[in-house]
Structure 1
Amino acid sequence: MNSIVERLKEVRSQIENACQQCNRSPDSVQLLAVSKTKPASAIRALYQAGQRSFGENYLQEALSKQQELKDLEALDWHFIGPIQSNKTRDIAAHFAWVQSIDRVKIARRLNEQRPNSLPPLQVLIQVNIDDEASKSGVAPDEVAHLAASIAQFPQLTLRGLMTIPAATTSAKAASESLSAMQSLYSELASQYPTVDTLSMGMSNDLAPAIAAGSTMVRVGTALFGARETT
């Protein structure tokens, strides 16, 4: 697992360098390790190296890892995948964050099913910034309505926005998408005092996302290596 620890150091260095390039503090950007399809042993190795926040896309896989890693304290689990109605109860009970809310129905179910013994679920609205049919998320002009609904749910705390921009070879198109997200985020933050998180940027676009104002980057491949294929 030494290679994973070395990759963690490299990713942290990339974040620090990207922040320096745009005169931001490295502390202003959180690293979320996207651990989907990777074994619990890899998560444990990163935990021992100081990483605490992990993102999972698949519920049953995540629950299995959580059980295997239950001896670790202060693990911060984020659900970042599409959400089906029949999965909301387990998501509400076993995650600290949900980054992929795109419907009032899902928000309502998460609110109703969040155990009272736990603090409110920290949530992000997923935005389909490039209007891709293959991706989940609300259209930019639907953000305000969904945010207003979430703000009424006592077991949810609205923290901001998440997006997965379209893969493109055009630096201009990518920059426009990132800039549009930053504008949406700034508008939302001006209306809701709890909003402080813009989850944007992955292994291949970490630096431009940080330059555009991202406060959380979701990194999988650069930490764990390529996803397993079957």
Structure 2
Amino acid sequence: MPPRTASDPGPLALVVEDESGIADILVAYLQRDGMRTQRAVDGPSALRLFGQLRPDIVLLDIHLPGMDGVDVLKAIRSDSDTPVIMVTALADDVDKLLSLRMGADDYVVKPFSPAEVVARVRAVLRRTGARPAETRAAPIRVGRLVVDMEAHGASTVDDDGTLHPLPLTLTEFRLLACLASQPRRCFSRSHLIETCLPESDALDRVIDSHLSKLRRKLQDAGQEGLIETVRSIGYRLWPGP
């Protein structure tokens, strides 16, 4: 996609919705709020447009012809951190948790207020606002751990500089990136939930479970003891002396 200029009306939203009436309303409200829009009516066309346009945010219906919205989300998350808001007619907690666990940034249930959807789009864009490519952040290095925020991956590094990628889930990466952003700082469980699982309504024990799995993967990679528990408070990344 060509670089954005000052004359561009705003962020580009890809609306993936097979019900034309709903899509029309969403597009109208988004454009009235100053955003650019593109539309897709099924999963395959959504992925094709996503690859061509690289939108700033995606509004993605779960129940689509040709390809389920959750599968579209999975395909998007395989190579991109673009914000995604899932839309569905079913207030089903299982679907909600599945989508959020796979990396959705928010979730709305039909029928909804179009104005509220626009407000959520703006909130997600503020929270996840991406930096321009020319200001690409350098990877975070903590001891033998390397966390690359732009590539959305983490690795361990040998003495000769060889990187060994860690097989992390999205939530595990978010937790590790948060801890690595300020080594030796203790992050409370509530802070980790708010930062890494903002829409999940997760309990403290859910964070404990994710951290346990993350520790095990770090231990398998030769990084035992890197994450410390601070009793009654939370966790910190402690790279040693």
Give the alignment's TM-score, normalised by structure 2.
Answer: 0.29
Higher normalized helix content (fraction of residues): 1
